[in-house]
Structure 1
Amino acid sequence: MQFRHERVRIETARHEIEGTLQLPQEGFRSRLTDFLNAQGDDFLPLTDATVTWLDGAREPERHEYLALATRHVVLVLELSPAPAPSA
């Protein structure tokens, strides 16, 4: 299956997270909304992620990989296609 990488900004009640989400290139779940709705109570795998606390209580953190529980997602914005990872 072919994949595309999409930069997204996700907001939860306490955090703003910017990262790269891997989506199918085409077909079922290739649109972000379809992908999110199909996840149920699962986790969204994000790579190259930055986590910022909305209350400013902590400095932003950078993580190579982050699994975010979809039940905490309040808002998702598509930012742009992410550059393809190097081999």
Structure 2
Amino acid sequence: MDEEAELRKLRWRCRRGMRELDQLLERWLDRQWRQSPTHEREVFLRLLDTEDDKLWRWFLGHELPDDVEIASLIERIRALPL
């Protein structure tokens, strides 16, 4: 699959039905995906496999994921400037 097709597919997976989550995930995809190492991309894909309600609680800081790699990525996504 070429990179543009992969990005379109990922952009669709970032659509969560909650604008705030969509914006957070798409911001990282737009700004970080292309230069991210393979391992970080894999962590992002695991993040996308997570249920929306968990994602929302994690991004709000109400809960922490058990997976430290996902927790670290969430902090980096939250820190991205608007």
Superposed pair shares fold, TM > 0.5? no
TM-score under structure 1 normalisation?
Answer: 0.22
Which structure has greater strand proportion? 1
Bigger Rg over Cα: 1
Which structure has greater helix proportion? 2
TM-score under structure 2 normalisation?
Answer: 0.22
